[in-house]
Chains A and B, each alone.
Chain A
Amino acid sequence: MKYYDKLIFELSRPGRKGYELPADNYGHDSMAELPADLLRKEDLNLPEVTELDVVRHYTNLSNKNFGVDTGFYPLGSCTMKYNPKINEEVAAMPGFASLHPLQNPDTVQGALELYYNLQHALSSLSGLAEFTLNPYAGAHGELTGLMVMRRYHESRGDSKRTKVIVPDSAHGTNPASAMVAGLEVVEVKSRPNGSIDIEDLKPLLDDTIAGIMMTNPNTLGMFETEILDIAKLVHEAGGLLYYDGANFNPLLGRVRPGDMGFDIMHINLHKTFSTPHGGGGPGSGPVGVAEHLREFLPNPRVRKTDDGRFYVDFGKESLGSVSTFFGNFGVMMRAYAYILSLGKEGIRNVGPMATLNANYIKENLKDDYLLPIEGVCKHEFVFDGLKDKSTGVTTLNVAKRLLDYGFHAPTIYFPLLFHESMMIEPTETESIETLDEFIDVLHKVAKEARENPEAVKDAPLTTAVRHLDETGAAKKPILTYKALQAEA
């Protein structure tokens, strides 16, 4: 395909247009009567283009993107599973798309029922008493969950609890969310396999600890086998357990965070429940809590009367609001469709097949790639780069070479526990044929690294653009078309 490199602004020609609006038949130009001081003086440089210009431009841009529909996306901790098409169809149904969020509840009973049913389904799948679906993303869910934690201690007049324990292997959002929620982060060290060292944890548990944030399996894909002991210790010390649901996929259908002793969790609907990542959102980060924390969930909430009517409730003990309305409702519609498509029987296979896929890749590649932790993993695992370190080929090189072979790269240089981390998560929607192809290519890259390391270091060779100057971009930020023009 021809290389396409235009910005929409560069297609602009004065006098062209891409819209049609009705004629103004109000018979009076009210805007002309607004005080001139309140009006914009500066010219508005938006493109002037036709409808076809726009269609071709963005279609051409889409061709420069890689998505799950393009190929395999083994991105660790991101759960890039297939995004079912029926979800898109139902989410666009006019019976939902044109609902105003402040409509009388009697006129949005279907929307409220969907919200309620999804809350309920997530509760059942996770073993927690109630969910809010209002948070917009995983990180937003973390923040909301930590606010629940703080609100709980606050409600008990326990103002000393200002710290939260976060493992050094945690996702970067955990400490950042804690900071935003006004909590001080206390790091607990991981053992070499990424699991929490109980002996290191014990001395940290005093009456200043609000709780602990954990993901299980941890970021190395290993299950925290001592989770029940950890839960007991944290609870005895008066703290709460927060579950980072980024790694929930391997447990879906097998293990419920609520049953492991977690009090609060968030779920990424865009990971575990198949809603599209959208190039970085919109996602959705529902937060579930145990029975004793229900009243602290954010407003507004959706509840049901005994006679089956749904209503919007604003609780007095709530932590407050974290969203303008009900969150990313369109995303919830997709997740709900996904749950119904799998049903209570089908959903039991999600975690197990995701786990099977990950272990299969791991066992097939550990001859060429350095596996720091032996044993059965869950949905993902980490290689510490190539086994043969003598070639000088890095994880970054391998990742870029994969792009040439039509695969997305794994998550690289995370977790920080290893220098050359390559985190691979296949998800359950990939077939053994796709996994075999991926395994073959990674073996081939390892061979290339041995035989012709410089070629691997030059990768990618076949992509629309190659090594981009990121240092230059950060040193002198060009963030708008206007700045780009000034540069030219």
Chain B
Amino acid sequence: MSHKFIPHTEADIRRMLDKIGVESIDDLYRDVPAEVIFRGEYDIPSAMTEIELRRHFEELAAKNKNLTVFAGGGAYDHYSPSVVAHLLQRSEFYTAYTPYQPEISQGTLQYIFEYQSMISELTGMEATNASMYDGATATAEAMFMMVASTKKRNRVVLSETLSEAVINVVRTYAHYHGINLTVVPAKEGVSDQEAILKEMEAGDVAGVIVSCPNRYGIIEDFTGFADKIHALKGFLTINADPSALAVLRTPAEWGADIAVGDGQTLGMPLQFGGPYLGYISCSKTMLRKMPGRVVGATKDIDGKRGFVLTLQAREQHIRREKATSNICSNQSLMALYATIYLALMGKQGMKEVNRLSCDGAHYLCNALVATGKFQPAFPGKPFLKEFTLRTDLDMAKVNEKLLEKGFMGPLVLGDGLVEFAVTEKRTREEIDKLVEIISKEA
């Protein structure tokens, strides 16, 4: 019986059973039909000691390969200061529950308030929630918000320039919730704004979702777009990389009503896809349609500043089936991650991260084009850290070669398109090496 996670001695068990007034542990399950008591053997290994467990994980890790990453597609190999991971190991943060008892949860509530403040700075929006699961589900929630904010409009128009993963998740949510979705094909790598507005003329469109930078890495130009959408009584959601928003025109500056995206770019470990976080920001007018937790500043009875979960009347534990969403928690610890990261980097650091990534990406792009084997897929379109090229090379083969040398090459998008990403973690030497290997294969 004895195990380091379970403290009960035989004597404890006896004492407790006596107090309860039953003979045995089995008696605690006497209300369970005998035929559903599991009497078989579980198909899992016997207990491992810490020594064995470490060895097992090391063996699993040895079957993975750490690569020098030159791909993005929604997950980017950004640098994270040592301090972030250290502070995340404060167990007062990670072993806490959702801050339902504000008097003993001010640590969590305050960092969420700081997180909301920082994301609002990046998006330019007035309100941000405590975080969502990921960028794709946050985009689906934005779709719900737009539909809920209009009367009798049940269609949302999506630009095909959103990442494929985001489109897939939004499609799933729309299908089951019963929202009509129209995906408008891209035009030369960017949103076909004219076609989108044309869709809106039918009068049943609640809103439009676009992205920036988009799936090809292109920084799209939305000049005048929001005004035209608003004139047709629809809403605009922009899915944007929060790291890039330190330098790019913000969703608020484009006139968007909602901003969403994935927080992974704020230094989060790649970790095979998660945990990351999704963010959602909106204008004040849409605040009460926003899903999830929100923290507000207030005072206690002694006049001290404090923070509380607020606007809870929107939420599932109060509203049940009438709630704005079924979301009940957030990715709180990852919101702390983003907060500490942004506190350390500050405005200057965030600019430098973008500058280094942008310069590195352009350096790589130019070098690849100079080999004569690649051409820009969308000539003249501006990009930051991710870009798409066209090539006749057998990229599956090239990527195999790159793997042998420890590189993760570009994502192969099909139709001869490949997409590279460069972050501030990559060096000029690594880029030169990458180009050299590719040139040899070509």
Contacts and interface: CB of A to CB of B under 8 A. Distances in A.
A469 B102 CA distance: 11
B44 A101 contact: no
Given A331-B274, A403-B101, 8 more contacts: A42-B252, A62-B107, A172-B316, A185-B321, A228-B36, A400-B103, A431-B7, A464-B106
A21 B309 CA distance: 36
A66 B96 contact: yes
B300 A465 contact: yes
B1 interface: yes
B300 A468 contact: yes
A120, A173, A428, A468: residue with the most chain B Cβ atoms closer than 10 Å: A468
A278 B177 CA distance: 30
Interface stretch (B200-208, B228-236, B290-298): B290-298
A1 interface: no
A484 B110 CA distance: 13
A22 B31 contact: no
Contact of B269 (A44, A58, A90, A98): A98
Given A65-B96, A100-B71, A474-B313, A47 B343 contact: yes
A24 B359 contact: yes
B96 A341 contact: no
Contact of A342 (B5, B144, B358): B5
The 8 A-B pairs at the shortest CB distance, nearest first, are namely A95-B61, A343-B47, A325-B273, A320-B172, A101-B273, A65-B107, A67-B95, A278-B333
A43 B348 CA distance: 11
Given A38-B248, A255-B36, A355-B28, A109 B63 contact: yes
A62, A222, A414: residue with the most chain B Cβ atoms closer than 10 Å: A62
Interface in A77-111: 78, 80-84, 86, 88-90, 92-104, 106-111
B329 interface: yes
Given A97-B270, A279-B336, A46 B133 contact: no
Nearest to B313: A474
Nearest to A412: B100
B101 A399 contact: yes
B371 interface: no
A477 B294 contact: yes
A346 B354 contact: no
A88 B89 contact: yes
A29 B349 CA distance: 16
Interface stretch (A133-141, A236-244, A287-295, A446-454): A133-141
A145 B12 CA distance: 40
B91 to A, nearest CB: 4
Contact of A173 (B33, B75, B326): B326
Interface in B404-442: 408, 411, 424, 427-428
A7 B113 contact: yes
Interface string B318-344: 111111011111111110100110111
Contacts of A469: 298-301
Interface string A222-245: 110101100000000000000000
Nearest to B135: A324
B172 A319 contact: yes
Contact of B134 (A40, A136, A340): A136
5 contacts: A47-B342, A124-B44, A281-B275, A344-B45, A469-B298
Contact of B94 (A17, A279, A479): A279
Contact of B67 (A35, A97, A107, A319): A107
A345 interface: yes
B44 A473 contact: no
A324 B274 CA distance: 9
Given A93-B57, A100-B75, A339 B44 contact: yes
B136, B168, B219, B223: residue with the most chain A Cβ atoms closer than 10 Å: B168
A328 B310 contact: no
A234 to B, nearest CB: 16
B73 to A, nearest CB: 5
Nearest to A52: B83
A102 B73 contact: yes
A409 B50 CA distance: 33
Given A67-B93, A125-B44, A356-B28, A330 B271 contact: yes
Contacts of A96: 60-61, 64, 271-272
A353 B253 contact: no
B31 A225 contact: yes
A327 B43 contact: no
B315 to A, nearest CB: 8
A322 interface: yes
A87 to B, nearest CB: 9
Contact of B345 (A46, A92, A256): A46
A367 interface: no
Contacts of B108: 65, 279-280
Interface residues of B, number: 208
Interface string B116-149: 1110111010111011011111000000100000
B310 A470 contact: yes
A326 to B, nearest CB: 4
A199 B324 CA distance: 33
B333 A65 contact: no
A460 B403 CA distance: 59
Given A44-B246, A185-B321, A484-B297, A136 B137 contact: yes
Contacts of A326: 272-274
A64 interface: yes
B92 A62 contact: yes
Interface in A459-480: 460, 463-470, 472-474, 477-480
Contacts of B221: 35, 37-38
Nearest to B277: A282
Interface stretch (A200-208, A357-365, A383-391): A357-365
Given A86-B50, A176-B321, A58 B332 contact: no
Nearest to A179: B321
Interface in A47-66: 47-49, 51, 54-55, 57-59, 61-66
Nearest to B171: A320
A77 B417 CA distance: 50
B134 to A, nearest CB: 5
A9 B117 contact: yes
B101 A321 contact: no
B101 A408 contact: yes
B92 A67 contact: yes
A340 B342 contact: no
Interface in B142-201: 144, 165-166, 168-169, 171-173, 175-178
B362 interface: yes
A95 B64 contact: yes
B383 to A, nearest CB: 9
A209 interface: no
A280 B43 contact: no
A53 to B, nearest CB: 8
A320 B168 contact: yes
B369 interface: no
A126 to B, nearest CB: 10
A322 to B, nearest CB: 6
A346 B47 contact: yes
A281 B331 contact: yes
B42 A344 contact: yes
Contact of B176 (A150, A328, A375, A480): A150
Nearest to A256: B38
Interface in A108-131: 108-111, 113-114, 120-121, 124-125, 127
